[in-house]
Homo-oligomer: A and B are copies of this chain.
Amino acid sequence: MEFKDRLNNYIREIDGYLKVFFPREEDIPRDIIEAMEYSIFAGGKRLRPILLIEGAKSIGGNIKRVLPLACALEMIHTYSLIHDDLPSMDNDDFRRGKPTNHKVFGEGMAILAGDGLLNYSYELMINNIPKDIVEMKNYIEGMKEIARAAGIMGMIGGQVKDLEYEGKDMDIDTLHYIHSHKTGALIRASLRAGAIASGANNNELTALTIYGEKLGLAFQIVDDILDIIGNVAKLGKPIGSDKDNKKLTYPNIYGLEESKAIIDRLLSEALEAISIFGSKAKFLEELGVFICKRDY
C-alpha cells in the first residue's frame, strides 16, 4: 500500500480513538458537546497523535498505554485553533474550508468549547494514569512534557508573541520564537511524550527531539513555500510583487531554491537522528519524506 493510503488509514484510526475517548455523560449540556465535536472532527491531519504513538513505537512502547496522551494532545491542539480563530485573535472565518467555531456557535460558546477541550484533555490524561507503579511514573513524566509544551512556556507563549507582533515588523529572533513555541513545542512534545511515557532513555529522547525539531522547521518552510506558490497560482502575481512577500519567511530571506536545499538538509538530519531505532522508526522516516516532498 502506498504511504499516503497508509497515512489516511492511520488518520481514520485516530479518529476512532478520539470518538472512544470523547465525553458522553448525559449531564453535559448538548450545545458544548456539539461545539467541541464540530472542531475536533473537522478533518484534522492528526499529526500530533500520530507522532506521539510513533515516538512510543520507536522504543517498543505499549501503544494502548499512550493513547489517552495522544488523544489529549489532539484536543489541546484543537482548543488552541478555536481560540486562535476568535475575532480578538486571528479573526478567521474559515478553517479547512468550514466556518470557524465561533461563526457557527457564537463567540461565547467558542471560548467555552476551547476551555472545555483543554480541561477535558487533562481529565482524559489524569483519569487514565496506569496502575502499575513503573508505568505510572513514566506516564506522569509524559504528562509533564505535554503540560509544559501546551502552556505559557510553550504554545501559549508563542501565541502571546504572535498577538503582540500582529501587523508589526519582527526580527528573526521573534519569528523563531513564535515558530518554535506556537507550533514547534507541541510537535516536539508529541514525539517526546510518547517515548517518555514508555520509559525512553536519554539517547532515545535526544534522537526523537532532534527529529521533531528538524521536521517541525522543515514543515514550516514547506508551508511558506506552498503559500507563495499558491498565491502566485491563485492571484497570477509574480513572486516579490506584493507586500506579503515582505513577510519574514525562509523563502523571502533565502530565496526558493536555497529554501528547498535547507529542507533537504533538515530532512536528512532528522532521518539520521532516528536511524538508531532501525525498522521501529520506519513510519517516522516515511512521514518525514512525505512532509518534505509535498508538491512544490
Contact = CB atoms under 8 A, between A and B. Distances in A.
Given A83-B115, A123-B147, 11 more contacts: A29-B160, A83-B112, A86-B108, A88-B107, A88-B108, A111-B111, A112-B156, A116-B152, A119-B150, A120-B151, A126-B147
Q: Which 3 pairs from chain A and chain B are nearest by CB?
A: A88-B107, A119-B151, A88-B108
Contacts of A126: 140, 143-144, 147
Interface of A: 23, 25, 27-29, 31-33, 36, 79, 83, 86, 88-89, 106-109, 111-112, 114-116, 118-120, 122-123, 126-127, 129, 133, 136, 140, 143-144, 147-148, 150-153, 156-157, 159-161, 163-164
Contacts of A107: 88
A83 B119 CA distance: 14
Contacts of A133: 133
A119 B164 CA distance: 20
Given A129-B140, A144-B127, A152 B28 contact: yes
Contact of A28 (B25, B114, B157): B157
Contacts of A156: 32, 112, 115-116, 119
A114 B115 CA distance: 9
Nearest to A106: B88
Contacts of A79: 115
A28 B31 CA distance: 35
A154 to B, nearest CB: 9
27 contacts: A28-B153, A28-B157, A29-B164, A31-B160, A31-B164, A32-B156, A32-B157, A83-B111, A83-B112, A86-B108, A88-B107, A89-B111, A109-B160, A112-B156, A112-B159, A112-B160, A115-B156, A116-B151, A119-B150, A119-B151, A119-B152, A120-B151, A122-B122, A123-B151, A126-B140, A133-B133, A136-B136
